[in-house]
Amino acid sequence: MKWRKTMSAILATALLFSTMAGVPSITEAKSKKDTKQQKHHQKKKKDKETTKDNFSPVDESSLNLDRLVKNLQARGIIAEDATQDEIRDSIKEYLEDKRIPSGPDTSSSFGAEAKRSQEAAKEEVIQNVAEFKGKKRSRNFDDNMFVDNIVVSLIEFPDRLHNELPKVKDSIWTADFNEEHYEKMLFEPGGYTTPEGTSMTTMAKYYEEQSRDTWSVNGIVTPWITAKHSYKYYGKNRNGGDAHPRELVIESLEQVGKAIAGHEEEYDQRDPYDLDGDGDLNEPDGILDNLMLVHAGIGEETGEDDDAIWSHRWTLEEPVKIPGTNLLAYDYMIQPEDGAPGVFSHEYGHNLGLPDLYDTNKGGHDSPVGAWSLMSSGSHTGYVFQTEPTSLDPWSKMMLQEMYGGKWVSPKVVDYADLRKKQKFTLHEAVNKDIDNNMVLKIDMPEIMKDAPTKPFQGEYSYFSDEGDNLTSTITTPEIDLTDATEATMTVDMWRSIEKNYDFLYLNAIDVDTGEEELVEDWSDDPEEWEEVEIDLSDYVGKKMKFQFEYVTDAAMTKQGVYLDNIVVSVDGEEVFTDDAEGKPKMDLDGFTQFDGKGKKYDAYYLVELRSYNGADEGLKYFRRGETFLTYDPGMVIWYYDGKYGATEDNKTSLHPGHGMLGVVDSHQQIKYWDDNKKKPADARYQVSDAAFSPNRTSEINLDYILGKMWSPSRKGVTTFSDEKDYSMPGLEDVGMVLPQVGLTIKIKDVEEDFSKATIEVWKD
C-alpha cells in the first residue's frame, strides 16, 4: 500500500483520537479554527461555523414531493384544503433551514487533505476526458468484470424497530425487510421482485449494464442490530442538520468488522481520494471502500417525522478503526428502511466520484438534465418511485472510464473545424452492451474564454485564491520575528468577491514556537474593488510568528474569490517583510496562485447519444407524478459541456441562467406550465421530457399532481439541431442553453423503430 508520509501520520492520529473520543454532531463538527480564536472572536466565529463547510440546501427535485406534502398535511403543517400556491410556499418554508452534509469533512486535517488530493486527481481526470480524441489511452485498462464490494449495515432503534413501516403506495414495501431483501435489491445481477410483486432494477444489474459488463457490485448485509439511543437522539434537528448520525455509524462498526474480518482485501480495492497522490484510484488505501447504513423507519425527507435522520452521504470527522480488522471507516451513506435502488445507485455514483447534475442551489427551476441522467432525477424513475433508474449521462460514463477503466463508453471524436462537409455517423442506443464503439459522438468545440473580474493591482502579478465550492486556499508569510517589537501592523491591497456569511477570508496568526493559531481578522463581503486594508498585529509582539490568509468556501453558491497584492508587515514603523507578488513568491502558496490578469481558456464539447426504452432506460417511461406519469420521449439527445463551469462542477444554472457544466439541448422550446398559468412554469424535469431529437411526435402530457395539473399536446418531432437557433428557453432561461454559434448542424436521419440504432449527419456551414 502506497502512503504519503503526511497522510500516514494524519491517519495514525485520527485512529488514536477516534477510538478514544466521542463523535460530535454534524453541525457541531470540530473546526480546526475553534482552537485558534481569541475570546472576542469566539461567538462571531461560531455563528459562521454553523453555516459553512460541507452543507448544502435541500433541492426540491431530489424529493418525493407527493409523499412529503401528504405527510405535512397529516401533521397540520400544510392545510388539507391548501391551494397549489399555498402548498408551494409551505414546502419552501419547510425546507428553508434544512441542510444536507456532503463531501469530506474539511474541519479535520485529514478531511482537508483528502479533499485536496481528490480534487487534484479529479482535475486531471476532467482534463483527460476533455482531451480524449478516440485514441488508445496510455494506461492499460482491464476490461474484465471488476466487482466492487459493499458492506450494508442494518440498524434499528429501541423505539423504532424494523418491519413497522406502513404500506405506502409509491414506495417500496415488503412484509420482511430482512437481510435477504437488501442482498437481492442491491446485488442480484438479474433484477429483483419482492414477494409482493414489486419489480426493480438492482444496483448490480444497473452498473453491469452501464459499464457494459466490466463493473458490478456485490457485498454483505449484516443482521439488524439495535442502536444505543432513541432514533431522536441521532436525527433530532440542530441548526438545520441531524444531531448525531455519525455516532450511529460508529456503533455499526463492530458488526461491520465481524462481517469482513479476514476478507479486508475484498473491501479495500480503491483509493477514491488518491491519498498517495499518484493518480491511481484503483489501489488499496486502508479505508473501507463502501459502507451503506440502513436505519429502521422512514427518512426525515418524507416529512413524516422531523426527528428522523435525513438521508445523506458524508464522512466521519476522521477515519475510525473498524474493530477486528486492519481497515478504517470514513465514507458512509445512510438510507431509510424503504430505500430503493435508484437512490442507492445515485449515492454510490457519488462514492465513485460523480457529482450531482441537478442545480444544488436553492431556488430556480433546476438545470436542464432531469431524468436523462442517474445523477439528476434519473434516480427517481420507475413505476414504483426510484425502482428503475435511468442511464448515466455520457459525460459521467467518460469520467468513470477514465478513473477506473472498463468499457463504460468510448466516444467517436470529431473536431467542429473538420465538419465542413457532411459526415455520417452511426449511433447505437446508450444501453447497448454488445458494440465496442458508436455509442457516443463527441464534437470538440472552440475553447471558451472566461475573463478575470479584475487586473493585478500594480505590476504584472497579484495573488489569487481561486474560485469554487469547498475550497480551502492559503497563503502564508515566512517567520517574522516580533520578539523585541513594541508594535506591528500589516497592510495589504485586497480585492474581494465573497459570499456573505457563507464563505470567508481569514487572517490567521501562527505562533512558530507552539504551533498555536489565532484568528486575527475575517472578511465575508463582496465590494469587488481594490482597497488597502491595515491590520494591527501588536497582540503578537514578543513572539516569532507567521501570518496566513485562508480563503474557505462552502458547498453551495460561489463568488469570484480574493486577490491580494503588496503584502507588507511593519515593525515599529519599519517594513520587515514585503511581497508584491512579482517574481518568485516570498510566501508559501497552497491554493493561492500568481495571477497575471489574463482570463482562462476552458474546453467545450457536445456529446451526442441515442436513448431508447430498452434496458435501464425503460425508466424513461415512468416519471411518477401522483397517480399519473410523465414520459420522456426517446431519440437523439445532445449534451453540451462547458469547461468554464466544469472546472468547479458547477451546474447551478439558477445563478447563471443558460450556462452550466452540463445539460441537454431541448429540441422543443415551448415552456410547460402548471394549471396553464404563465406564472407557474414547471421546472426542468418537465421541460426536458421532449428534449430528444426524433422524427416521431412527442408524448402527450396529462398530469394530475399535488402541485397542480399539466396538459401539453403531442407535438411534431424535431429532427435537426442547428446552433443558429435559440435554445435558451426564453422566459425560463435557467432551463435553457446558451450555445456557441459556429454553424454546426446535427440531424437524425434513419432510426430503428425501437430507437436501438440511428444514422446521424453532422456538418458545419
Asked whether residue 373 is domain-assigned, the answer is no
Same domain, 470 and 554: yes
CATH at 565: 2.60.120.200
Same domain, 716 and 747: yes
What's the predicted TM-score (pTM) here? 0.86
Q: Which CA distances in Å does 600 have to 451, 565, 640, 737?
A: 7, 20, 19, 21
Same domain, 138 and 201: yes
Asked whether residue 456 is domain-assigned, the answer is no
Same domain, 192 and 326: yes
Same domain, 585 and 696: no
Domain enclosing residue 738, as ranges: 395-450+601-764
Same domain, 429 and 516: no
Q: Taking 90 as the threshold, does the pLDDT of residue 112 lie above it?
A: no
Asked whether residue 70 is domain-assigned, the answer is no
pLDDT of residue 685: 96
Spatial separation of the C-alpha atoms in residues 415 and 412, rounded to whole Å: 10
DSSP β-bridge partners for residue 737? none
Total number of domains in the chain: 3
Asked whether residue 17 is domain-assigned, the answer is yes
Same domain, 137 and 264: yes
Among 4-8, 266-270, 544-548, 588-592, the minimum mean pLDDT is found in: 4-8
pLDDT average, residue stretch 691-696: 98
Unique residue bearing C-alpha cell 436542464 = 368
pLDDT average, residue stretch 296-311: 94
Query: pLDDT tens-digit profile of 408-449?
Result: 998 999 999 999 999 999 999 999 998 877 899 999 999 998
> In 132-244, which residue ranges form alpha helices assigned H by DSSP?
179-187, 203-210, 231-235
Asked whether residue 379 is domain-assigned, the answer is no
Among 38-42, 198-202, 310-314, 574-578, the minimum mean pLDDT is found in: 38-42
Domain boundary (540, 567, 598) is at 598
Same domain, 534 and 667: no
Asked whether residue 728 is domain-assigned, the answer is yes
Q: Taking 70 as the threshold, does the pLDDT of residue 51 lie above it?
A: no
347 is catalytic: yes
Same domain, 551 and 627: no
Domain boundary (571, 598, 625) is at 598
Domain boundary (598, 631, 663) is at 598
Among 165-169, 618-622, 714-718, the minimum mean pLDDT is found in: 165-169
Query: pLDDT tens-digit profile of 118-160?
Result: 988 998 999 999 999 876 544 445 568 999 999 999 999 999 9
Q: Taking 80 as the threshold, does the pLDDT of residue 708 lie above it?
A: yes
Asked whether residue 540 is domain-assigned, the answer is yes
Contacts 24+ apart (CB under 8 A), 532-536: 532/491, 532/492, 532/493, 532/494, 533/491, 533/492, 533/493, 533/494, 534/489, 534/490, 534/491, 535/489, 535/490, 535/491, 535/492, 535/507, 536/487, 536/488, 536/489
Catalytic residue among 49, 317, 347, 733: 347
Same domain, 423 and 532: no
Same domain, 611 and 682: yes
> Which one, of 705, 55, 61, 738, lies nearest residue 376 by Cα?
61
Among 79-88, 294-303, 568-577, 703-712, the minimum mean pLDDT is found in: 79-88
| 34 pLDDT tier (thresholds 50, 70, 90) | very low
Please provide the average confidence, as pLDDT, over all residues in the chain: 90
pLDDT of residue 47: 38
Q: Which CA distances in Å does 686 have to 85, 565, 624, 670, 713?
A: 18, 48, 11, 11, 13
Spatial separation of the C-alpha atoms in residues 221 and 26, rounded to whole Å: 26
Q: Do residues 214 and 407 touch, judged by C-beta distance below 8 A?
A: yes
Asked whether residue 628 is domain-assigned, the answer is yes
Same domain, 665 and 563: no
| 21 pLDDT tier (thresholds 50, 70, 90) | very low
Query: pLDDT tens-digit profile of 193-246?
Result: 999 999 999 999 999 999 999 999 999 999 999 999 999 999 999 888 899 999
